[in-house]
Amino acid sequence: MDLLVIAAVFGGLAVLQAALIVLFGMRGFSYRRQFSKAEAGAGEKIAFIEVIGNRSPLFLPWVRVEARVPPEFTFHTREEVEIRSENYHKSVFTLTPFSQVTRRHQITLNKRGHYRLEQVSMTAGDLLGMRLISRDLSAPAELYVYPRLVGDGLPLPSTRAQGDVSVRRWIQPDPFLVNGIRGYRAGDPLRDIHWPATARTGELQVKTHDFTADPRLMVLINAQKTADQWGDLMDYEQERIEYAISLAATLCLQALAQGSEAGFAANIPLDEAAEGACLTPQRGPGREQELLRAFACLRIRRVCSFPTFLEQLPRMSGVDYVILSCYDDPVIRRRMEEMRALGNTVTLHVLPGEVPHA
C-alpha cells in the first residue's frame, strides 16, 4: 500500500512538473552567444561563448540548444557538446531556479569569411520526458575572419607604390629631392637657402625641389581560373583565388605601412551584393580594418568576366595597379595599355599553379 501511495505521489509530481514546464518553462529562459573577438585571422583559435539563464523559480531538468554552425569552424569541446556532420552544434544544460550557466568552447577558424549566426532551436522537457516544449530563438553572433597574410618577399616587381617617383605635373614638392639652385625670391622659406652657393656667388641662393607623386596602390583580383570560364568555381577549385585574396591583403597592408594609399577591386562581391567589390585607394585611421573586413566579406561568386570588370572600373590616374590573375590574356593586356595611357603603372602577376602553403 505504501508503495502505491509513493508511486501515486511521484506520478502526480511528475505530471505537475510537466504541466508547469509546459506553462511556464519558457518565461524565464534566455540564451545568448558570442565570440571572444569580433575579428580574427584565419588559422587563429578563439572562444565561442554560450550564456544560458533561468530567471524563473522553476527547475529545468534538461534544456537542449541546437544551432547550425559553419563547417569552417573546428570545435575543441567537452563531452556535453556534440557536433553532428561538422555542421550542427548541440549543447545540453540543467538549470536550477534563478541560475545562469556560461560555457566557453575553443574553436579554430579554418577559413577566411564573414560569419553571421542567427537562430537557435531550444527544447526543454521534464525529468521523465513526458512533455516537451520547443522554440526558435534569435541569438545573433557575428565574426570577421581575415585572410592569412603571405608575409614578406612577395614575387612582385617594384612599382611606384614602393617608392617616390618624380613627375612633370605638380603634385607636391619633396623636401628631400633637390634638382637645382636659383636666386632667392620673396617668400622663399629660409630653410631652403643654400649657404655654400650663397657664399660662392655673394647673393642669396635657394634650393629647388622636384615634385613627386603621392603613391597609390590598387590591387585587382581576377576570380576566373581561365579566360573561357562560364560558371562559378566549386569549393575545391577556389584555393588559388583564396591565395590571391591573401596576396592582395598583404600588399595593401604593406602599402599602408609605408604611408601610401591602398585599395582593391575584384569581380566577386562583398557578401550578397550584386556587383563586384571596389574600394578605391585611401589611407588614414581605420583604413586597415576597413580593408581587412572587406577581404573577409568577399564571396567567390563571379559577377562578370574580368575584361568586362576592368572596363567598368572608375577611371583614375597616378595609380599603381597590380593585377592578380590565374592566367594571362590578350584582352587583359589591351585593357592594361588603356590604363597606362591614363598615367598609371600596371603590373600583371600570374598566380602559381601550386599555391604556397604557410
Provide CATH code, domain 28-146. 2.60.40.1530
Query: What dotted CATH number matches 160-164+214-350?
Result: 3.40.50.410
**pLDDT class of 191 with cuts at 50, 70, 90:** confident
The band of 224, judged by pLDDT with boundaries at 50, 70 and 90, is very high
pLDDT digits (tens, 9 = 90+) for 318-329: 899 999 999 999
Q: In what order do the strands lie in the sheet with 45-54?
A: 29-35, 45-54, 99-109, 73-76
Q: Is the pLDDT of residue 265 over 80?
A: yes
User: For residue 304, is pLDDT > 70?
Assistant: yes
Q: Where are the domains of the chain?
A: 28-146, 160-164+214-350, 172-212
Q: What burial class does residue 230 get, using C-beta atoms within 10 Å of its C-beta: 0-12 exposed, 13-18 middle, 19+ buried?
A: exposed
CA dist 174 and 164 (Å) reads 9
Residue 296: helix, strand or coil by DSSP? helix
pLDDT at position 61: 80
Predicted confidence (pLDDT) per residue in 7-47, tens digit: 555 555 555 555 555 555 567 788 999 999 999 999 999 99
Distance of alpha carbon 3 from alpha carbon 346, whole angstroms: 90
Residue 107 has pLDDT above 90, yes or no: yes
